Amino acid sequence: MARERKFSTDELFQATKALLLSHGYEGFTFSLLADSLNVSRGALYKYYENKDELITNYIFYEMDQYLLKLKQINLYQGFEAQLQFLLDLMFSYSNIQKLIKIGQQVPGHQDKFKTIHTDMYRFLQDFVELGKKEGKLKCHLPNNLILGYIFQSVAIPNHSEIPYSLWVSSLKEMICHGILSNN
Amino acid sequence: MARERKFSTDELFQATKALLLSHGYEGFTFSLLADSLNVSRGALYKYYENKDELITNYIFYEMDQYLLKLKQINLYQGFEAQLQFLLDLMFSYSNIQKLIKIGQQVPGHQDKFKTIHTDMYRFLQDFVELGKKEGKLKCHLPNNLILGYIFQSVAIPNHSEIPYSLWVSSLKEMICHGILSNN
DNA sequence: TTTCAAAGTAACACAAGTGTTACTTTGGAC
DNA sequence: GTCCAAAGTAACACTTGTGTTACTTTGAAA
């Protein structure tokens, strides 16, 4: 009953993601997005009132997917298995942290994103508490700092192009046992 | 022989810093800067051709100061003392990392900033090598990853407002020995 | 084949940032 | 007091992004 669309929601979101990551919140424009989709700028206004609405929608979509994955942590028994799962998940979704930060820049939506962020941290409290109860995690470290520490580490820039597998295994080692030797 | 200036270079740099950190590279404008200095926009063009030149100048100035401090690491004997010095320095200059990232966004100046960045890392190679030779640092971890890991950790957002001293001591603990208990 | 609603476009008016120019203000040297 | 160079301003022309409107295109249902 209608004309065929020139771009799917998925293509729209992929282009949005690429532009957000390369240009940041302030540098992202509908003109750039329209060009990258080979579509007129006006067409985008058929779907979103403005860039803030699009960005908010997109990042929420991305975070929903992420949270869904995250909740699979409960399929694993014991702290160590859950930690491995969490670390692997983080490395395969390493852009999410950047996107959340961008989301927090959207005027009038900071609260929404802060809420989601704290919700995510609250959801992982059980995981941290489990680690502490099992005697695996250091009890004197604040829960949220442990979580922030884990999430932050995937964002380290790899300037010297260390191979991915070495990168991941080294980071896991440092997160768990630090940079110092034990002797 | 001339009229009195309405703002000093230091005031200019402080205002630039505040705006860069709050608005990012793309969001930083001469209009904002002029307003925050209570001066007309045109006046700024007396000193800098455009925002890129100002930002580059400012961040280089900031990094020069930082490198100067950093070189005091050689005043300390032994790896452990140097590590403590480095960690304390990082926490007191925690914004530098963000500013360097912003600098890397300046069109046509990415190379300059990458150079400075790698220079800084090269300067710290001695420190890392010393740690490895003394058997204090894990030898199998890539040098630049260790450095990136240390620098990145000061940028963790403190959403739950953990007191500064607990924040710093916890991070030092995690960087050195990880999040897991030893037993 | 006609119809019509969704998809898309082109163009307008507006706002904000940029860089420049011609101008005024200031204050020490003379 | 006069001069003049540095400091600062106001305004112009230009560019880019925004949101809207009137328009055309498309394709399946009737």
For the beta carbon of residue A175, count every other beta carbon within 10 angstroms.
22
| Inside any domain, residue A63 | no
Closest partner residue to A142 (CB to CB) among B146, B166, B181 is: B166
For residue B131, what are the domain limits?
A: 76-177
| Inside any domain, residue B158 | yes
Which nucleotide is closest, CA of B42 to its C1'?
Answer: D9
Residues A4-11: what's their mean pLDDT? 96
Q: CA B130, CA B93: separation in Å to the nearest integer?
A: 24
Closest partner residue to B179 (CB to CB) among A149, A152, A170 is: A149
Residues A22-47: what's their mean pLDDT? 96
| Inside any domain, residue B82 | yes
**B159 or B177, which is more confident?**
B177
- B57-98 tens-digit pLDDT: 999 999 999 999 999 999 999 999 999 999 999 999 999 999
| Inside any domain, residue A58 | no
CB of B179 less than 8 A from some CB of A: yes
| Inside any domain, residue A21 | no
pLDDT the model gives residue A31: 97
Comparing alpha-carbon positions, the chain A residue that sits nearest to B177 is A178
* Least Cα separation, residue A52 to chain B (angstroms): 15
For all residues of chain B together, what is the average pLDDT? 95
| Nearest residue to A121 via CA among A99, A145, A102, A154 | A145
| Inside any domain, residue B156 | yes
Could you tell me the distance in Å between the CA of residue A57 and the C1' of nucleotide D24?
30
Burial of A25 (0-12, 13-18, 19+ CB in 10 A): buried
- Backbone angles phi and psi of B43, in degrees to 5: -60, -35
Comparing alpha-carbon positions, the chain A residue that sits nearest to B152 is A156
Closest partner residue to B180 (CB to CB) among A114, A152, A177 is: A177
The answer to whether A41 CB is within 7 Å of strand D is yes
- A59-90 tens-digit pLDDT: 999 999 999 999 999 999 999 999 999 999 99
Task: Report which residue type is found at A132.
Answer: K
Q: Which of A174, A182, A183 to mutate to test the interface with B (most CBs of B within 10 A)?
A: A174
Beta bridge partners of B180: A137
pLDDT tier for residue B183 given thresholds of 50, 70 and 90: low
pLDDT the model gives residue B72: 97
Look at residue A183 and tell me whether its pLDDT is greater than 80.
no
* Least Cα separation, residue B1 to chain A (angstroms): 43
Q: CA B174, CA B162: separation in Å to the nearest integer?
A: 15
| Inside any domain, residue A86 | yes
Q: Is the dihedral of CA A137, A141, A145, A150 positive or negative?
A: negative
pLDDT the model gives residue B118: 87
| Inside any domain, residue B99 | yes
pLDDT tier for residue B3 given thresholds of 50, 70 and 90: confident
pLDDT the model gives residue B115: 87
B180·A180 Cβ contact <8 A: no
Q: CA B99, CA B63: separation in Å to the nearest integer?
A: 9
Q: How far is CA A180 from the centre of its chain?
A: 29
CB of B29 less than 8 A from some CB of A: no
Q: Which of A30-39, A85-94, B29-38, B104-113 shows the lowest per-residue confidence on average (mean pLDDT)?
A: B104-113
Nucleotides of C under 7 A from a protein CB: 4-11, 16-22, 25-29
Q: How many domains does chain B have?
A: 1
